[in-house]
Amino acid sequence: MDENAHKRFVLENSLRKAVENDEFLLYYQPKVDILSGEITAFEALLRWEHPDLGLLSPAEFIPLAEETGLIIPIGEWVIRKVCAQNVAWQQEGLANLRIAVNLSGYQLQQKNFLLFVQEILSETGLDPGCLEFEITETVIMQNPDFTINMLNNLRDMGIHISIDDFGTGYSSLSHLKRFSVNTLKIDKTFVSEVESSATDAAIASAIIAMGSSLNLRVIAEGVETRGQLEFLKEKLCDEMQGVLFQPAHAA
């Protein structure tokens, strides 16, 4: 077995046990209103504290979790944990903030997904307005009719919906009009180049203008420099997220 195949074998076996063994944890990163500088929400980002390999980031295990179907119990753990954590923070007296969960396309395709979300909300007593789901543009476009319908149902429950990594997929404008979403997240690959690439600056500006004309909030992810922030401010982007303000960190 070559080194990669061996690592995969080790990961797959240990991923099966990771949920039971409580090896996952969530990092949180704030989303910030560019004008007021106030925190509007947090995004939960999954980490796996592997007993031998140490702290693993999602890119190292989410694809495997999706291939093996383990993304379903893992994704359920994330939603449950985020709702419970939010209620705990509110009980400690922190302001009612929204927390965003990244969803895999496989989760949306679960027949009982809406029911599951409803159950978690009533179990924990969390206001649906304090929950947000982020779903990538690519996942939406793989099956637009189905996904738009699901997102409409989630929006009707009062949950905030964002399109993640916006600009990397191929949404047609006619689909975008039908998306029942609140926020577009400009992908960090464009944000990182707004100062050096005229094309990326044009794409970021176009997303901001389009979002605003469709009455959507627009947030830029991966903001690392003052220059990027100045650009976004000038283009009237609503919110930002990135290491410039705060990296993702443990709760």
Q: Which residues make beta-bridge pairs with 217?
A: 183
Interaction with ligand C2E in 95-154: which residues (CB under 6 A)?
A: 102, 104, 134
Q: What is the nearest approach in angstroms of Mg ion to the Cβ of residue 251?
A: 17
Range in contact with ligand C2E (rule: CB under 6 A) among 87-95, 200-208, 211-219, 239-247: 239-247
Binding mask 43-82 for Mg ion (x = CB under 5 A): ----------------------------------------
Interaction with ligand C2E in 3-22: which residues (CB under 6 A)?
A: none
Q: What is the DSSP letter of 17?
A: H
According to DSSP H, which parts of the chain are helical?
A: 3-18, 62-68, 71-91, 105-108, 113-124, 137-142, 144-156, 173-178, 188-191, 198-213, 226-234
239 near Mg ion (CB under 5 A) = no
57 near ligand C2E (CB under 6 A) = yes
Q: What is the nearest approach in angstroms of ligand C2E to the Cβ of residue 35?
A: 20
132 near Mg ion (CB under 5 A) = no
Answer for the pair 222, 241: CB distance below 8 angstroms, yes or no: yes
Question: Which of 32, 56, 70, 78 forms a contact with ligand C2E (CB under 6 A)?
Answer: 78
CA nearest neighbour of 59 among 50, 44, 69, 47: 47
134 near Mg ion (CB under 5 A) = yes
Pairing, β 54-56 against β 39-50? antiparallel
